[in-house]
Amino acid sequence: MLTNELTKLLNIKYPIIQAPMAGGTTTSKLVAEVSNAGGLGMIGAGYMTPFQMREQIQEIKKLTANAFGINLFVPNEFTVIEDEIQSTNQIMNQIRDELDLPRKDKMEVPHFHMVYQTFMEQIKVIIEERVPICSFTFGIPADDVVAELKKHNIILMGTATTAREAIANEKAGMDIVVVQGSEAGGHRGNFIDENQESLIGLMSLIPQAVDSVSIPVIAAGGIMDGRGLMASICLGAKGVQMGTAFLTCIESGAHQVHKEAILNVDGDLTVLTRSFSGKWARGIINKFIQEMREFEENVPSFPVQNALTQDIRKKSGEQNNPEFMSLWAGQSAALAKEQTVETLIQNIIAEANSLKFN
Counting contacts by CB under 8 A, is residue 335 touching a second copy? yes
Q: How many CB atoms lie within 10 A of CB 78?
A: 17
Dihedral of CA atoms 166, 169, 170, 171 in degrees, nearest 10, equals 120
- Of 98-106, 114-122, 196-204, 306-314, the window that binds a second copy (rule: CB under 8 A) is 196-204
| Angle of helix 50-63 versus helix 28-36 axis, rounded to 10 | 40
Side-chain-side CA neighbours of 313 within 13 Å: the count stands at 17
Stretch that binds a second copy, among 5-13, 129-137, 176-184, 256-264 (CB under 8 A): 176-184
Among 13, 61, 150, 164, binds a second copy (CB under 8 A): 164
Q: How far apart are CA 233 and CA 5, in angstroms?
A: 13
Beta carbon of residue 254, minimum distance to a second copy (angstroms, whole number): 19
Does 165 contact a second copy by CB under 8 A?
no
Interacting residue with a second copy among 121, 334, 337, 347 (CB under 8 A)? 334
Instruction: For residue 169, state whether it binds a second copy (rule: CB under 8 A).
Output: no
Q: Is 97 in the site for a second copy (CB under 8 A)?
A: no
CB nearer a second copy, residue 128 or residue 211? 211
235 binds a second copy (CB under 8 A): yes
CB-CB contact of 312 with 324 (8 Å): yes
Burial track 315-340 (b if 16+ CB lie within 10 A, e otherwise) = bbbeeeebbbbbbbbbbbbbbbeebe
Counting contacts by CB under 8 A, is residue 272 touching a second copy? yes
**What is the DSSP secondary-structure string of 133-179?**
EEEEESS---HHHHHHHHHTT-EEEEEESSHHHHHHHHHTT-SEEEE
Examine residue 5 and tell whether it contacts a second copy (CB under 8 A).
Answer: no
* Distance in angstroms (rounded) separating the CA atoms of residues 140 and 64: 29
Scanning 195-340, the segments in alpha helix (DSSP H) are: 195-198, 202-212, 226-234, 244-247, 256-263, 287-292, 304-308, 310-318
Report if residue 127 touches a second copy, rule: CB under 8 A.
no
| Nearer to a second copy among residue 56 and residue 241 (C-beta) | 241
Residue 222 found at the interface with a second copy (CB under 8 A): yes
Q: How far is the CB of 327 from a second copy (least distance, A)?
A: 15
39 in contact with a second copy (CB under 8 A) = no
CB 167, CB 212: distance < 8 Å: yes
- Min separation Cβ 192 and a second copy, Å: 10
Stretch that binds a second copy, among 62-70, 136-144, 205-213, 315-323 (CB under 8 A): 205-213
Contact residues for 350 (Cβ-Cβ < 8 A; gap 6+): 226
Interface with a second copy, residue 348, by CB under 8 A:
no
Site for a second copy in 59-88 (CB under 8 A): none
Looking at beta carbons only, is 40 or 202 nearer to a second copy? 202
Neighbours of 244 (CB within 10 A): 30
Q: Which of 128, 269, 318, 320 forms a contact with a second copy (CB under 8 A)? A: 269
Stretch of residues binding a second copy (CB under 8 A), selected from 12-20, 104-112, 329-337, 341-349: 329-337
Per rule CB under 8 A, is residue 356 in the interface with a second copy? yes
| Residues at the interface with a second copy (CB under 8 A) | 1, 162-164, 181-183, 193, 196-205, 207-208, 211, 219, 221-225, 227-228, 230-232, 234-236, 267, 269-272, 330-332, 334-335, 355-358
